[in-house]
Amino acid sequence: MRQFSANVTALLSRDAIETFMLVRYGNDRFTSLPYNVTINMEGLDTVFSTMGDNTGGLLSVDAPDMSSSVDKSSYKIVLSDPSFVFRDLALNGNVGARVEVYLGLINTTGSSIGAAGPGMPLLSHSDLIMVYAGYADGQHYSVDFDGSAQFIIEGSSPFGDLDATKAFYTSKEYAEIRTARSSNPGSPDTAYDLIFEGAVTSKLRWGKA
């Protein structure tokens, strides 16, 4: 069962909840906050950048729709890129890079919670909620007619392979290869010897036996 800190539990019990997002993508760090923040993670001070209007920033984090108990969708992270700083990264490919998404809470009370004053984000690592941890499974780069560019990162899904279709070759040659790699290569597999139409002459007998 997921455990929350006392500060997070107190804020989640309130009617009004305000959140922000933190994204780690390879060596890059982004935040949905309008300013940069520094968080001590794994003993190191890590800066999450909001990026300026000319250099883009974090637009959205789309979580998978829980349409079934076995969901095959993936996390989608959208970054704006008006200066095309991610263009080379998109061309060279960065599939397999580590991706982490954290959810943080804003102090909506009238008093301080931890080191966060009223209206300020809770930046302690223990107060962050990890909502996704995986690897980049795909990336897209799109440029609209107005010149705005977006860099889209898709996180891998543990059930993503359920959507994949793999070819299964039914031929004598494939059976021979499969037998050679099996634990009993001395026993030939003849299941596909007559797989093709016309391999043998067929005789049909009509009437009573």
* Side-chain half-sphere CA neighbours of 48 within 13 A: 24
> pLDDT tens-digit profile of 21-66?
999 888 888 888 888 899 988 788 889 988 655 556 788 888 766 5
Q: Is the pLDDT of residue 176 over 70?
A: no
The pLDDT score that the predictor gives to residue 184 is 59
Percent of the chain with pLDDT over 70: 65
Q: Identify the CA nearest to 108 among candidates 100, 99, 117.
A: 117
Report the SS3 class of residue 46: strand
> pLDDT tens-digit profile of 83-123?
787 877 777 766 788 889 999 999 998 888 888 899 999 99
The pLDDT score that the predictor gives to residue 62 is 80
Q: Is the pLDDT of residue 15 over 90?
A: no
Whether the CB-CB separation of 136 and 153 falls below 8 Å is answered with yes
* Domain assignments of the chain as residue spans, ordered by start: 6-162, 167-200
